[in-house]
Amino acid sequence: MSLPFALTPGEPAGIGPDLCLLLAREAQPRALVAIASLALLSERAARLGLDIQLLPVAPSSWPPHPAPAGSLYVWDTPLAAPVVCGQLDKANGAYVLETLRRAGQGCIDGYFAGMITAPVHKGVINEAGIPFSGHTEFLAELTHTEQVVMMLATQGLRVALVTTHLPLREVADAITGPRLQRVARILHKDLVEKFGIARPRILVCGLNPHAGEGGHLGREEIEVIEPALHELRAEGLDLTGPLPADTLFTPKHLEHCDAVLAMYHDQGLPVLKYKGFGAAVNVTLGLPIIRTSVDHGTALDLAGTGRIDTGSLQVALETAYRMQRATSCKPQASS
């Protein structure tokens, strides 16, 4: 029997519950279990005018087959307070983290094949008195993983990040040789093991304009990035760079690579989101479990309106399915 995938709806006042219900209108190729409040999903379905049959399940009674169209398996996780669409309530901060804990621990314990997450609201969780910096860090701690890597992907482009949510003035100091090497090794390893690419070709961005212009616009390329890449190439990694980011994201370069490694958040992600916003997926690399996510936020103003697109969630699901298949197959040629 194939294991089901866990689906967490994220912030209950946002569009995550809506996405799960809209998705349930059509049958999925794999069984999905929404880890959420049954009452919340029932109320939201009524608000949206959706006739979705909610099917309660638990770890002792996992579904053997995908749910039929128009239905959704739910592992009931009670709310702390009633939800009003679009209105954050810190009382439900612990509820959000409990859905993530159940999904992540379920993957660790072998109950789930992987997990797909809808967006959370970091601010309201912190306002509840619970330190929380994001899904990635939460799952890294849960799985006792020292280093994880954020990668976004859309059709024809994958972008991984050396640094993620840092103020720009802190980025240069954060890019060290050991950190760059750890990130590159994780990216290479998961492209092989979770995406089935036998010999990944990775393009590496420089940090500075024109990749430092030979040291005239910064020396990080000369003193940090190039030496780190030299050592990685000796290990067998196929790395090209450091290249100027303003010309790296062009067809002549991208058609010959499997992923781009950007130095910081707004160096690589604006390009990817311009190319595929609403049809992109966020993947956490380096975890011992499969985790994918949507590429957008909670959209509080759209919760309960029905005026949303499930495209990113569908891509996140399809990516998780492919990653699970790749883990049990031999790597393919570069793509």
Q: Is 265 labelled as part of a ligand binding site?
A: yes
Q: Is 240 labelled as part of a ligand binding site?
A: no
- Do residues 310 and 23 make contact, with C-beta atoms less than 8 angstroms apart? yes
Whether a cis peptide bond, with omega within 30° of 0, leads into 200 is: no
* C-beta pairs of 65-71 under 8 Å, 24+ apart in sequence: 65/31, 66/27, 66/28, 66/29, 66/30, 66/31, 66/32, 67/24, 67/27, 67/28, 67/31, 67/32, 68/27, 69/24, 69/25, 69/26, 69/27, 70/24, 70/25, 71/24
CA 242/CA 203 separation, integer angstroms: 8
Q: Is 310 labelled as part of a ligand binding site?
A: no
CA 87/CA 67 separation, integer angstroms: 31
- Do residues 274 and 285 make contact, with C-beta atoms less than 8 angstroms apart? no
Q: Is 194 labelled as part of a ligand binding site?
A: no
Q: In what order do the strands lie in the sheet with 291-293?
A: 53-56, 71-76, 32-36, 5-8, 115-117, 291-293, 281-285, 149-154, 157-161, 259-262, 201-205, 238-243
- Do residues 243 and 188 make contact, with C-beta atoms less than 8 angstroms apart? no
Q: Is 230 labelled as part of a ligand binding site?
A: no
Q: Is 282 labelled as part of a ligand binding site?
A: yes
Alpha-carbon radius of gyration of the chain: 20
One-letter amino acid for residue 247 of the chain: T
- Do residues 290 and 268 make contact, with C-beta atoms less than 8 angstroms apart? no
Which positions make up the binding site for a divalent metal cation?
A: 165, 210, 265
- Feature table: binding site: 135-136, 165, 210, 265, 273, 282, 291
Binding residues for substrate: 135-136, 273, 282, 291
